[in-house]
Structure 1
Amino acid sequence: MMKMVVSGKTVEDAVNEGLRQWKVGEDRVKMTVLEQPAKGLFGLIGARQAKVELELIPDPAEEAELFLRDVLRTMGLEVELNRQMEEDGLLFNLSGPEIGILIGRRGQTLDALQYLVNIVANRQSDRHVRIMIDAEQFRSRRKQTLEELSMRIASKVVRTKQDVVLEPMTSLDRKIIHAKLQDHPHVRTYSQGDEPNRKVVVSLK
């Protein structure tokens, strides 16, 4: 974490000087008063300014973007990165000619990158921010594919009256299957097995 020691006629003056130098608001710093101001004899001899130590609180969004850009640079990828606030968190959209490398098989690389970015962004922050990473609308396309698969499997289970065990999936993909079928009138879902081979089972109610 970044720290600085600043002085001023008053504690408030010292803090304001530090905020001015860092160009941040008061909510982004932790303050420790090192010395209180003293007027001294006759207001002159032994006069002492206030001395304050300020510690900059990392911003999760900035930490996430810095880490993400560093990973992309290390991988030697030319990727355009845009960030936007969503209702349930902060979304980073990635795009570029080599984006398939970042997506990986069924989004596994993208999921791993998102997991790491969340750890880095929130490790020193007082407020938790959910970070989401998408690559050229992969997640919305993947969600649609899984939801369509869910309905086909549900119809098969109803028709054959036999359970269907899907192939191993990530927790995010399993969550989509469970959510899509949770209100289905004839089938239920549950997960079985251990990571990374945990699977969704669709069975009759």
Structure 2
Amino acid sequence: MAKSSNLEDLRQELADDRSLPLRGANLVFGEGDPSAKVLFVGEAPGFHEDQQQRPFVGRSGKLLDKMLEDIGWKRENVYITNVVKRRPPENRDPLPEEIAAYTPYLERQISIIDPKIIVTLGRFAMSHISPQGKISRDQGKVFWWKERIFMPMYHPAAALRSTSVLEDLKKSFQKLPKIIKKYDELKKEHLNDVGAPEEEKNQEALF
């Protein structure tokens, strides 16, 4: 209950923040299990998300639901949000200043939910955690970030346009149950690895 209450307080604070850009659009805060082990972070809401004020409900959302179903998970068992919480005009990419403005709220959201795994969907979401990362190179790999597992994946929208990206996304999702199962072992291995500088460890693939 505490996490639900804290998330609602954060949502209200975000809604009241008049300094944020894109205030002409509806707020899409996020949804799911406040105690989820896995947090999915997209880039920004689209048309359907803005209309329903829920993340990933359009074609991309249907594909995300199917990917979860294929590994035996349900949408309500994870948490889904975006870096930017309002739709950019004409579905354009979020601007750097928009990402910067909403990032503190995302970080507080992460802190409240305290997931074991953060899955970023798309390059803009990935750049929040790994500014030097490349989605084509790093997608589907497993890294450590602030004592959590971080796994970048292609955005479902990209998978709808490319069969090869779709296959890569499917393979990435298939890894998630295995990672959850091996989480304690992976964390112990990570904590024992004290030789590498922190920046290097954050970019060291485990799979």
Q: Normalised by the size of structure 2, how large is the TM-score?
A: 0.32
- Ranked by relative contact order (alpha carbons within 8 Å, sequence separation 6 or more), the top structure is 2
Relative to total residues, which structure has the larger helix share, 1 or 2? 2
Q: Choose 1 or 2 for highest CA Rg.
A: 1
Q: Normalised by the size of structure 1, how large is the TM-score?
A: 0.33
